[in-house]
Amino acid sequence: MNERVCIGYIDIDKETIFEVGKFSVLWNVFESDCCDCHCSASKIIDMENAIENLGKEPFKRLAKEFIERAGRLGDSTEEYVSKRIYPQAGAKITPENKKAHMPLVVKFIESEGEDNLTGAMLAIFRIRNNMFHGLKGCSELDDQIELFRVMSAVLEVVIQR
């Protein structure tokens, strides 16, 4: 059994804290080094050529994790992306941006990480925003530890490009 800690009113596994912390640090480095300290969807789309030529293994792992998560929830890929990555309630994303960016994420997942790696980075960007702007429930983080691991692996590859 993994060691658990209580932070505020959240009982959480220490390994989850480590993985979320690692993701947070890697996101900070990515945003600093690759986005001039301010990431946006348009900056991610602008780095498409650099991202598309990276090693695909971490991207494939991320796509697989999304596919598995959608399956466990009984969602199609599009439903999963719409409800879980691009939730409308509380998210500060315009309907126009959701309509423009969501298909890139769906295409990435449906290609099993072989195509449209920009879609992977847009998904990570949304999950980061959901996490740090209060849309991702902390009580659910233990169930998302593998998601944070694979997102960190993608960030490591992108940062090292």
The total number of structural domains in the chain stands at 1
Q: What is the H or E stretch that residue 129 is in?
A: helix 117-132
pTM of the model: 0.92
Question: How do residues 3-21 score in pLDDT, each as one tens digit?
Answer: 988 878 788 899 999 999 9
Inter-residue long-range contacts of 83-92, CB under 8 Å, 24+ positions, other chains counted: 85/123, 85/126, 85/127, 85/130, 86/126, 87/130, 87/135, 90/133, 90/134, 90/135, 91/129, 91/130, 91/133, 91/135, 92/129, 92/133
Question: In terms of Cα–Cα distance, which of 22, 1, 2, 7 is closest to 139?
Answer: 7
Q: Which residue segment(s) compose the domain that 121 sits in?
A: 4-159
Question: How do residues 8-67 score in pLDDT, each as one tens digit?
Answer: 878 889 999 999 999 999 999 999 999 999 999 999 999 988 888 889 999 999 999 999
